[in-house]
Amino acid sequence: MVKEIQLRITLKEEDRDDILILKSAIKLDIKKEAITGVKILRKSIDARKPKIIFNYKIAVYIQEPLPEKSEYHFKYKDVSKAKPIHIIGFGPAGMYAALRCIELGFKPIVLERGKNVQDRRRDLKAINRDHVVNPDSNYCFGEGGAGTYSDGKLYTRSLKRGDVRRIFENLVYHGATDQILVDAHPHIGTNKLPKVVQNIRETILKYGGEVHFDTKVIDFSIKNNKIQALHLHNGNEMASNRVILATGHSARDIFYLLHNKNIKLEAKSFAMGVRVEHPQHIIDGIQYHCSGERDSKLPAASYGLVHQVNKRGVYSFCMCPGGFIVPAATANGEVVVNGMSPSKRNNLYANSGIVVEINADQDLKKYEKFGPLKGLEYQKSLENLAFTAGGRSQVAPAQRLTDFVEGNLSNNLNDSSYQPGLKSAPMHSLLPKLIGSRLRKGFEAFGQKMKGYYTQEANIIGVESRTSSPVNIPRNEKLEHPQIEGLFPCGEGGGYAGGIISAAMDGERCAEFASVGL
């Protein structure tokens, strides 16, 4: 017999299996000896009150053995001689589209503009140290996409888009910790993800798929509104009648290419703002009601904040406890910041994007001449502004949080995890009113919600601009572009995902539809 129950235990009881077993026995009114095993299904922390509680959802096995294997099985088969499906991009959407193709008996041929995870590291080092951006290999482009070096947070609200558990189980199958199956807010970590991504690539190759790095698609051949071939940067051409377009939210050249070929695009609402960085001990103190160091059993504290200002949401995005801020530009001449955390989340700082909703229909009147690319051009304008304000390098413009809200130039800045460096700049006057004024009111409100959050010990750093794609590539009920037969827009680049898990699920769905009738 198996029964599921909910348990709440205190900080003192945490990490003691006998407590779980004993409380299970008491709650089920059975003898402890009859319990043959306890499996943790979900774990979360309730720190809203000074007495911190760990919430557990557990399965209690009564005179029945614990299952040794997962109920999920991934039946990959040799597809080396099967019909091909071309996949452009090897981020979460592209990777899981490829894996699903193999399960369905089709050969994925992946074309990735960037490098593999090992070679990609040199280009990341060049951005941080030399301020040189390789437009095809950076924090956004390369094996694993933006997710590989962008923290590995796996939390998603996209529960109706597919089998979330299946993606989690597949990540474990490819080397991720099985703790992601349990934690309420699962996280792999920037330092652990590259190996998982490499394992996924090796699975694809093992079963006959192909993965081509340093291979950039620069054009499509289309005849009678049907995809015919892909043109590569090296002059080669690949015949193809099924293409999954999983290029990510920063592949601006793809948006320009489609727009220039009069392939339908639509402007999409998105969000922009800054990244705020606090010493981690401040966030720990606020969230765990403590002074000094947090209890060693507790993870680095996180937060989620939202406030409405003049009919637009101001909210935290991609919060990274114990993390660091990185330069996420995809071209020279722009500054973009993003955040990430290692698996242990043991860095000295906590950072989060604090962004403002941008309504594509109402807020971008000055950019209407760009049509469906108006949001993209608005993004670029602020990234170029940040580049200039930072001193025309990857040094980022920054300001103390209190100075930003109060409209004062910061005479000096706090220490930061951002390796290229910071330069004091009047962000309160540089950011457009649409964003700046709402951020200032939002930060004031957040200071009321989290006492101690509003502090001169925090920096705001600009700009956080790549929260999601500002362009939607439309598709019909078969996930195919309504104009171009055989073209399947996918993942964040198409406007259909907002993170690793939702992108992976969308990749699987696109593979299923792309294989129909092939």
Give the bridge partners for 6, in sequence order: 57
Average pLDDT over residues 96-112: 98
Q: How confident is the model over 320-354, as pLDDT tens digits?
A: 999 999 999 999 999 999 999 998 999 999 999 99
DSSP state letters, 123-144: HHHHHHHH---BTTBSSSSSTT
Taking the C-alpha atoms of residue 103 and residue 378, their distance in angstroms, rounded to an integer, is 41
Residue 74 CA neighbour count, 13 Å, CB half:
22
State residue 191's pLDDT score.
87
State residue 43's pLDDT score.
95
Is pLDDT of 496 > 80? yes
**Residue labelled with tokens 């070679």:** 119
Is pLDDT of 153 > 80? no
State residue 435's pLDDT score.
98
pLDDT classification of 151: cutoffs 50, 70, 90: low
Is pLDDT of 157 > 80? no
| Dmax (CA) of the chain | 74
Q: Read off the DSSP letter of residue 331.
A: S
Query: Which stretch of DSSP H or E encloses residue 406?
Result: helix 401-406
State residue 427's pLDDT score.
97
**Omega before residue 2 within 30° of 0, cis:** no
Is pLDDT of 170 > 80? yes
Average pLDDT over residues 268-291: 96
Is pLDDT of 280 > 90? yes
Average pLDDT over residues 280-286: 97
Average pLDDT over residues 133-143: 96
Q: Where are the alpha helices (DSSP H) in 32-158?
A: 92-104, 117-130
State residue 160's pLDDT score.
63
CA 371 to chain centre: 27
Q: How confident is the model over 350-406, as pLDDT tens digits?
A: 999 999 999 999 999 999 999 999 999 999 999 999 999 999 999 999 999 999 999
pLDDT > 70: percent of the chain: 98
pLDDT classification of 284: cutoffs 50, 70, 90: very high
pLDDT classification of 2: cutoffs 50, 70, 90: very high
Is pLDDT of 256 > 80? yes
User: Domains plus CATH for the chain?
Assistant: 2-62 (3.30.70.2700), 84-265+473-514 (3.50.50.60), 267-464 (no CATH)
Q: What is the pTM of this model?
A: 0.95
Q: How confident is the model over 78-92, as pLDDT tens digits?
A: 999 999 999 999 999
State residue 449's pLDDT score.
97
Average pLDDT over residues 252-275: 98
Average pLDDT over residues 512-518: 96
151-165, 267-281, 404-418, 426-440: which range is least confident on average? 151-165
Edge-first strand listing for the sheet containing 217-223:
217-223, 226-232, 237-239
Q: Where are the alpha helices (DSSP H) in 174-318?
A: 193-206, 252-260, 280-288
**Residue pair 320/149 in contact by the 8 Å Cβ criterion:** no
Give the mean pLDDT of the chain: 95
> Length of the chain, please?
518
State residue 398's pLDDT score.
98
CA 164 to chain centre: 15
